[in-house]
Amino acid sequence: MTGNYSRFDVPARAANLLLKGARVIDPAIKLDQIVNLHVKDGVLHVISGESVPSGADVIDLRGHWITPGWFDLHVHLREPGKEVAETIATGCMAAMNGGFTGIACMPNTQPPLDDAASVNWVRDQARGFPVEVNVIAAVTRGREGKELVDMSEIVEAGVRAFSDDGGPVKSSAVLRHAVEYSNMLGARIFEHAEDKYLADGGCMNESEWSTRLGVAGIPTIAEAIDVARCVLISEYTGGAIHICHVSARESVEQIRSAKERGLKVTAEVCPHHLLLTDEMCKTFDTNYKMNPPLRGEEDRKACWEAFLDGTLDVYCTDHAPHSWEDKTQEFDVAPFGIVGLETALGLALTHFLNKGMTLETLLDRVVYAPRRILAQDIPSIAEGKPANLTIVDPEHVWKVDPETFKSLSHNTPFGGWEMKGRARGVINRGYALIQTF
Ligand SMILES: [Zn+2]
């Protein structure tokens, strides 16, 4: 790449930028062509021909793709409470580095995000970044599973999703009321589907591998039973439910049949459940410990097929930073979760794209579907629209080095993996980041 771009290695104002020579792809408006884009004070202009607006920073993006900004629907920022693992600022930097212009963050901080003031506080911390932070608020006060939060106050603050993620909403009565009430407000419940009694004490998939390794298992039905409960509650109330991080074949089947019946059930899948299986746990490397756990090959295949056919609507990371001290404990005591923001795009381009999945479908799963589910505006690469863009170098070959992550935490199972395709930068909210790797 050539051109005057190095000052955009940190987010700078997208005051006057000419993005030159990239393949610009926005399937929603049937756009796929090489065209120059001018970003002026954060607003997009499509330039015909080779004219250069006066004073513009010209960025030569031949060989690159520009798509509408990618969105990660499931992220854990650890602020407030565990700033040693991640802050809102470092989470935004990780998101930018990974090519995301928007994220939705979960409320299981300490204290949990369970009122409008805490939601507004989180959003305020993300000012000055080309990343929108959409807060998913807690379903119950303190995430204690008892009393519903003040949903109308929180929806008024712009929130469209509620979750007690980290765990399920244990009481079916509370879940039912949460779905009914959020539905009235045009919002949606995001359920971490897990029957805590069935999962009790488990720290990997219940399988031949858990038996061999002598590790307590979490059966697939611990997830699928809660998915079935959510489907029934959605059907009974007419309300919308989103199933987080689906990992099991039985869950996929429940979701598929719910969709066939026209229910308002949506779901998401994470890269690790599409690429890894429980056999990886045999090294006792805690970077293979997450919840829901890595499953067997049958489950992995079922998730992949459901991801392809749209039964699983969204590709997201469940980015779960943990400090080195926490994550290097023994397998059975280490916390669940891995970081994902800085590897998701590379994994998708390397392992999904043109291996059964088209770019149009992939963009649906990471650009359009997450925003539809959160009832957010869909970015469009059209004249006069706000510039909300992800710039991708599809040919760049690189190796994942967790030490170079912008995230404060490095707990990934993908360290050392070779990738083809990397985020060159993001533009959003009037700011641009363009990396000089
Ligand atoms: Zn979860």
Cα of 435 from ligand 1 centre, angstroms: 31
Q: Which residues of 194-216 are buried (b: 16+ CB within 10 A; e: fewer)?
A: bbeebbeebbbbbbebbeebebe
In the prediction, which pLDDT does 150 show? 98
CA 69, 70, 74, 78 dihedral sign is negative
Residue 370 CA to residue 359 CA, distance in Å, equals 16
* Mean pLDDT split into 10-residue runs, the chain, 437 residues: 64 91 97 96 91 92 98 97 96 97 98 97 93 97 97 98 96 98 98 96 96 97 98 98 98 98 98 98 97 98 98 98 95 96 98 95 98 97 98 98 97 98 97 92
Cβ atoms within 10 A of the Cβ of 355, count?
8
Tokens of 110: 């300490």
Cα of 166 from ligand 1 centre, angstroms: 5
Residue 139 CA to residue 359 CA, distance in Å, equals 35
Cα of 165 from ligand 1 centre, angstroms: 5
In the prediction, which pLDDT does 139 show? 98
Q: If we measure between CA atoms, which residue out of 163, 200, 192, 203 comes closest to residue 179?
A: 163
Which domains are delineated in the chain? 6-66+381-434 (2.30.40.10), 69-373 (3.20.20.140)
Residues 206 and 219: beta-carbon distance below 8 Å: yes
Cα of 350 from ligand 1 centre, angstroms: 26
Collapsing DSSP to helix, strand or coil, 117 comes out as helix
Cα distances (angstroms) measured from residue 395 to each of 65, 77, 356: 10, 30, 19
Report the DSSP beta bridge partners of residue 152.
Answer: none
Cα of 183 from ligand 1 centre, angstroms: 21
In the prediction, which pLDDT does 336 show? 97
Is pTM beyond 0.95? Reply is: yes
Pairing, β 100-105 against β 132-135 = parallel
E-strand stretches of 224-302: 241-243, 265-269
State the alpha helices, DSSP H only, in 98-206.
Answer: 116-125, 151-156, 172-184, 196-199
Helix (H) or strand (E) holding 275: helix 271-275
Cα of 191 from ligand 1 centre, angstroms: 8
Helix 172-184 crosses helix 220-237 at what angle (to 10 degrees)? 50
Cα of 74 from ligand 1 centre, angstroms: 9
Cα-flanking dihedrals φ and ψ of residue 386, to 5°?
Answer: -60, 135
Cα of 224 from ligand 1 centre, angstroms: 14
In the prediction, which pLDDT does 5 show? 62
Q: If we measure between CA atoms, which residue out of 224, 150, 147 comes closest to residue 187?
A: 150
Q: Is 318 a catalytic residue?
A: yes
Cβ atoms within 10 A of the Cβ of 72, count?
30
Collapsing DSSP to helix, strand or coil, 398 comes out as strand
Catalytic residue among 164, 195, 226, 318: 318
Cα of 52 from ligand 1 centre, angstroms: 48
